[in-house]
Amino acid sequence: MLRDDCAGWFHFGSRQNERPETSQFWRIDAEKAGVVDELRGMFGGKVQDINSNDFAGVELVTGVSRFQIQVDGPESIVMEMILWGRGGVQHHCDGENFLSPVEILGSSCRCPSRMEERKVNARNGVGPQPSTSIHFRLDECPELGTFSFHSNSWDMAGSAREARSSMMKESNGKLLELYLEVVHFPASSGLLFTYIRPALRLFR
């Protein structure tokens, strides 16, 4: 979930001619133009106004695919698994225990331990999908405040889990890198497909 006190929100998708489109560079939304002006002065990019049903503010379209970020600790990486149904949330857990409703909070959710099995269940509509949120400050300008990034990507969930695990093992592991990676993979038809995936790792 996104926090109300965020200075801005990171994303890498947009809509062009009513079709979703991803980019290999980060886009940053903010309600205050001053925040975007500060970011443009540091990182460059193009500024544009946004006025939609969901958001009204300013967006910076950067040419940056990697940001070093500061987090307060592992708790800044929120990892959940959610299955939605017609009546709302049908399953809400962290992969091991239920997070809601309160009547079963903390009890085993019985999700498979293997990621591939979880993906199969999600594709078949009988298992939850990842919901990962990160709350952070930019290492180059922490005074701007807290930013947020949210993703339903399985890739993001995997890298976030590894980053949080690494943080818990290292006392000074509070500087991370949030980045976008271009992935190429061959299809059975012989064609080469490309997609962009978000990722997180401990910055060394």
Q: Which tops the pLDDT comparison, 203 or 43?
A: 43
CA distance 35 to 99: 34
pLDDT of 1 reads: 36
Contacts of 118 (CB under 8 A, 6+ apart): 81, 95, 111, 112, 127, 128
111 pLDDT above the threshold of 50: yes
Q: Which helix (H) or strand (E) holds 30?
A: strand 19-30
Q: What is the pLDDT of residues 29-66, one digit of tens each?
A: 999 999 999 999 999 999 998 887 777 789 999 999 99
- Whole-number average pLDDT of the chain: 89
pLDDT at residue 151 is higher than 70? yes
User: CB–CB of 22/164 below 8 Å?
Assistant: no
pTM: 0.88
